Amino acid sequence: MGFDFETIIERRNTNSVKWDGLEQKFGMADASDAVSMWIADMDFACAPEIAQAIQDLVAHPVYGYYNTQPELLPAICLWQKKRFGLTVEPENLVLGSGVISLYAAGLQAMTRKGDGVIIQSPVYYPFAKTIESSDRVVVENPLIEEERDGRLTYSIDFDNLRTVAAREDVTAMIFCNPHNPVGRIWTPEEQRKVAEICCQNGVFLISDEIHADLVIGNHKMVPFMKACPEHSGHAMSVTSTSKTFNVAGLHAAYANIPCAETREKIQARMTRNRSGGFGYLGAAAMIAAYTKCDYYADGLCKQLEKNANLVYDFLRERLPQVRVSDLQGTYLMWVDMTHVGVPKEKVERFLLDKAGVIFDPGAWFSPRYEGYGRMNIATNSATVLRALEKIEKAVKSL
């Protein structure tokens, strides 16, 4: 069984965050011809099995309170086992409306106000926002950027990590694997080094694995709980079907928390936050995705590899002044536009006004990355090509 990832689906005028209201959102005079490649959702239809599961539920005309379907936890455990060889105990799972509400509860339960929380910049910007809104303090462990074979690569600065983890005020770390936006999948060895440093310093580790299913080419994703079982007692991992199956609007995520005491604290905090919110439609979608839609995830990874190769080839042949990250996981490519002939502080407006292409600005991920951008390639290849051609035309007009 296959799935068509090349059909163009019109999303404008559907109240899509990605495609509607762009003039106001980005200060554009006219976004009718813009190519939207920001925010992390996909332009692909859901698998028909997911759509059918939701339609079967909404066919009943009463949309009241529902118990969580009994098939849900076994479906989660099945997916983790067949995709990653990870055995998950159903009682270790905590459900939530999204990964942000889950790791926010983890931070609030396992740290104190004023404590420092480590993030590895440039990184998913809600990490910092969640830390700050929880009255904690962002502590950066910046990744090391290098260029190899014409692509940007990133690694962990372990010396700096040891230094910041040893601070008395630092009590937690949010670890992104695969890393958003630089696209690295951290190896088991890298994960163990991070875990050891955190454990030695009493730092609670939160592993955000929402893009774990999205593996490019021959790379391999090993979840934290499999790579570091000896450190699972002082850690939690969080993930969701939202990225892999394009169901972010259904608000369904879960955490794997093996330590019963930690799990009880975090569950209590979620109750206090009133942030459970795991709806029965999200559960139905998750059950269908995890039990019937392996083929969709497999096909998606092939489409993303195809699109990534399109980007690599285009930039090498036609825009060599634009550098891009080596994509191992996620559907997000990290792009360096600082050498196109525009001051880095004006790159965002250049893309918007001259190219009509919308990326997440690099400065959202770290002030040090002004002039970079995050490009979402989870769309048909024709749209990826159109965006690249619009950028090429704008750059050549300088």
Which residues of the chain fall below pLDDT 70?
276
> What is the assigned CATH class of domain 53-292?
alpha beta
Could you say which DSSP state residue 250 is in? G
> Which tokens in the block code for residue 118?
């480590």
Topology classification of domain 22-46+295-396: Aspartate Aminotransferase, domain 1 (3.90.1150)
Q: Is the pTM of this model over 0.95?
A: yes
- Residue type at 293? C
pLDDT value at position 276? 63
* Domain ranges within the chain, ordered by starting residue: 22-46+295-396, 53-292
pLDDT value at position 49? 98
pLDDT value at position 345? 97
pLDDT value at position 201? 98
CA dihedral (164, 169, 175, 179) positive or negative: negative
